[in-house]
Structure 1
Amino acid sequence: MHSQSASLAPLYRRRVFQSSEKVDCHAQVARELSAHDLYWKGDAVDTVLFKATIRQLQVFMLKYGAEVVVRPKLFEGFVLVHMTLSGVAEIEADGQKVRIPQGRTAIIAPKRNVRLWWQAGSEQLILKVPHALFGEIGACHGSNIAMPSLLLLQPQLATHWEYLMQSLLGVLELSETGGNHALWIDHFERGAAQFLWSQLPATLAGAEPETAATACSSSKFNRLEALEKYIHERLCAPLTLADLARAAGVSVRGLNALCHQHHGVAPMDLLRNTRLDAARQRLLVQAQANITDTAFEFGFAHLGRFSAYYRQRFGELPRQTKAARH
């Protein structure tokens, strides 16, 4: 149980399977969630899946154990709402990318392609929402929905979303007491979907797909691409917040909003995380890589702080990464 997440006790009583066999894990998850390609980046497989079906909604808790990359087929008739309970996840959909740290939530509705990366040991709470339910809510408001491919909910909404998820899971207990609670359960399901619908950007509430929404997404993607390219080309250089804002072509305030929306972190944290990722890749790929030299090469002048940041991001020390490689 995680203090920052909703109470999951009703869900944890509904285990679908637990396995350490890669082929079995892949087949079971595909059967319950969506067809997908699955790439394992380690052998520490300890996959467990819990599932609760309410009425129209389904709630899952999924942990793979090992680090994985998942490439689902396009969703047919549903949207996924993805909340990280522990660890870190990263999602790319239709040219947009967000990092989802512990406690954050994203809405995923890809139109062309989607890729998910999960840190080893991470646990994800997933809500499966049918398009039909969003359609009912849109009809009540007199507008059609153009669902964004990827939307990271603002951090200040975390408590509200956890409360809604707890309410949804709570009605599972209600359904087991007997009686006709269908209308009451429908109320909770519509409440969760209504909350998600209310978070869609105003330009998307009635716009046609590929018009205002596409222009907005394209502009943001271009700025993100420029920022990420600038960072990757200067992994060792001393960079300031103003440098990053100029590279993205936005104000410092705009840069903060852009990074929080698409990566879930502040700009300087994104810079540090990118450098940490590059350092980890060096330690994994090059057997003779020296930890001190690697830290300096990627902009970390203080070895102790580098190790602390590294452990916070990857759950292990740099020397443990090197040891595991051998």
Structure 2
Amino acid sequence: MATRAGLLTRTPLRRFSVMEDAELEALEASAPAWLTECKFKTPRRQLAAITRASLSATTLGPVKLVYAHTVGSELAVDFTRQESNYVVSFALAGTNQVTVANEQALCSATRAVILSPQMVAGMHLSDGYAQVHVGIERFALDRNLERMLDRPVTKPIRFQIDMDLTRPALASWVRGVKMLLEDLDEASGLSAVGAEANPWPDFLMTGLLLAQPNNYSEWLNQGQVNGFRPQSLKRAVELIEQEPAGDLSLSRLCSVAGVSARALQRHFREYVGLSPREYVQRVRLEHAHNDLAAGAGKTVAEIAYRSGFTHVPRFAGAYRERYGVPPLVTLRESATR
């Protein structure tokens, strides 16, 4: 198929075909793995039409890239659960009218749509609609933003759903997406390097945060990245990050920081956005998550204790709230990998 010159000049992800010219039911069955769990409906006036679907997909660490194409009729798409991650949809052919609550946005030649976690969308696809879908894991984007701001992200990132691709910053980001898609079709391209060294996920996440308006844009636009922190706060933060399983009581943190409890708590609230206790838990959870993901332990309890937690059920609850899955799931996935 011919794709819009604004993004691509040929069908993307040819090396990663999942299905070609398949029945619509096959696309619906594959949606939970590659898109979002949903139901496709053919308009009543086109019930006799035969709709065919093609799908190609791959992953790069926390980023999922999908090409989908349907032909034969218009389609209504109802999501059957909330989004759990961030999803950007580009139209390569045709249009997609997206509705989220009282908001509407259109995927077309010059506009794209981004969905944030917990959104439930409805879509109307034109006949012959083709799209590139870029999915980014919620917690990976959170961690990327934390690195950019040098402070924890305490509220979910929420993007403006409508993306104007003619805006210079977004146009630059889209060119980067195009380069990645072309690189993926080269077996020895840059995208073929291992997940740890692959530069594409960081580029996509950082660029999206800077280019598309969101509830952290003001912080990012004001240049509040790696900004000033009092030396006393830096000493406390360094201790927490170097010894997450050690004695991190408020009294010890104050002793290391060289300030009173009231001053240290004020510094944490002002420059970190969390209390000292909340920051300690955040760092311990990150330490435990890294060990679980690496399979650096035989049991969840072993890793929890090693990360500074003394109550495993409370750890499991905090972990699930932070990462969206129980710690045992992360540990089992590491064994599978």
- TM category (shorter chain) comes to 0.5 to 0.7
Distance change in 2, residues 1:75/1:40 (3 Å): same
1:155 pairs with 2:162: no
The match for 1:322 is none
**TM-score normalised over the length of structure 1:** 0.55
4+ residue segments displaced more than 6 Å: 177-180
The match for 1:71 is 78
The match for 1:299 is none
The match for 2:231 is none
1:88 pairs with 2:90: no
Amino acid at match of 2:34: E
Give the deviation of 1:13 after TM superposition: 2.6
Choose the corresponding residue for 2:38, options 36, 39, 57. 36
The match for 1:12 is 14
Q: Is the 8 A contact 1:94 1:114 kept in 2?
A: yes
SS in 2 for 1:59: strand
Amino acid at match of 1:199: A
Amino acid at match of 1:21: E
Amino acid at match of 2:112: T
The match for 2:26 is 24
Choose the corresponding residue for 1:120, options 127, 139, 153. 127
Tell me how far apart the structure 2 counterparts of residues 52 and 61 of structure 1 sit (CA, whole Å). Answer: 9
Choose the corresponding residue for 1:102, options 98, 109, 118. 109
| Deviation sequence 1:37-58 (CA, Å, 0-9, x none) | 2212232412111112222211
Give the deviation of 1:8 after TM superposition: 5.3
The match for 1:166 is 178
Q: Is the 8 A contact 2:116 2:158 kept in 1?
A: yes
Tell me how far apart the structure 2 counterparts of residues 179 and 76 of structure 1 sit (CA, whole Å). Answer: 26
Tell me how far apart the structure 1 counterparts of residues 191 and 103 of structure 2 sit (CA, whole Å). Answer: 46
Distance change in 2, residues 1:134/1:110 (3 Å): closer
**TM-score normalised over the length of structure 2:** 0.54
Distance change in 2, residues 1:175/1:55 (3 Å): farther
Q: Is the 8 A contact 1:93 1:115 kept in 2?
A: yes
Question: Could you say what the CA RMSD is over the residues aligned between the two structures, in angstroms?
Answer: 3.0
SS in 2 for 1:102: coil
Q: Is the 8 A contact 1:71 1:115 kept in 2?
A: yes
% identical aligned pairs = 13
Amino acid at match of 1:17: M
| Deviation sequence 1:48-98 (CA, Å, 0-9, x none) | 111122222111111121211111233454111111111111111132111
- Larger Rg over CA atoms: 2
The match for 1:131 is 138
Give the deviation of 1:180 after TM superposition: 8.4
5 Å matches for 1:53-72?
53-65=59-71, 66-72=73-79
The match for 1:312 is none
Q: Is the 8 A contact 2:117 2:138 kept in 1?
A: no
SS in 1 for 2:6: coil
Amino acid at match of 2:26: D
| Deviation sequence 1:174-217 (CA, Å, 0-9, x none) | 6647998337853221111111111343644589xxxxxxxxxx
Distance change in 2, residues 1:183/1:50 (3 Å): closer
